[in-house]
Amino acid sequence: MTAALHNYDARMQRVLDHIDRHLDDNLDLDAVSRIAAFSKYHFHRQFTAAFGLSFHRYVQLARMKRASYQLAYRDEQTVTDIAMDAGYDAPDAFARAFRQRFGQSPSSFRKSPDWEPWLAAFGPLDNARSKLMQTTYTPDDVTIRDVAPTPVAIMEHRGDPATIGATIQRFIAWRKAAGLSPKTAPTFNVFHSDPRTTPPAEYRMDLCVGTDRPIEAHGERIEAGIIPGGRCAVLRVVGHTDNLEPAALYLYRDWLPASGEEARDFPLYCQRITFFPEVPEHEVVAELFLPLT
What does the pLDDT look like over 173-202, one tens digit per residue?
A: 999 999 999 999 999 999 999 988 999 999
User: Across residues 95-120, what is the average pLDDT?
Assistant: 93
User: Across residues 15-33, what is the average pLDDT?
Assistant: 91
Q: What is the pLDDT of residue 197?
A: 92
Cα–Cα distance measured from residue 209 to residue 96, given in angstroms and rounded to the nearest whole number? 37
User: Across residues 258-286, what is the average pLDDT?
Assistant: 96
Q: Pinpoint the residues of the chain covered by CATH 3.20.80.10.
A: 139-291
Give which of 231, 229, 233 is closest to 141, Cα–Cα: 233
User: Across residues 269-283, what is the average pLDDT?
Assistant: 94
Q: What is the pLDDT of residue 135?
A: 66
Q: Pinpoint the residues of the chain covered by CATH 1.10.10.60.
A: 3-130
User: Across residues 249-276, what is the average pLDDT?
Assistant: 97
Q: What is the pLDDT of residue 134?
A: 60
User: Across residues 70-76, what is the average pLDDT?
Assistant: 92
Considering the chain, what is the average pLDDT of its residues? 93
Which CATH number among 3.30.43.10, 3.40.50.11540, 3.20.80.10, 3.40.190.100 corresponds to the domain 139-291? 3.20.80.10
Cα–Cα distance measured from residue 257 to residue 13, given in angstroms and rounded to the nearest whole number? 32
pLDDT digits (tens, 9 = 90+) for 201-213: 999 999 999 999 9
Cα–Cα distance measured from residue 80 to residue 88, given in angstroms and rounded to the nearest whole number? 9
Q: How confident is the model at residue 1 (pLDDT cuts 50, 70, 90)?
A: low
Instruction: Quickly name the fold that domain 3-130 has.
Output: Arc Repressor Mutant, subunit A (1.10.10)
Give the global pTM: 0.89
Integer CA distances (angstroms), 134 to 61, 141, 226, 236, in order: 21, 12, 31, 12
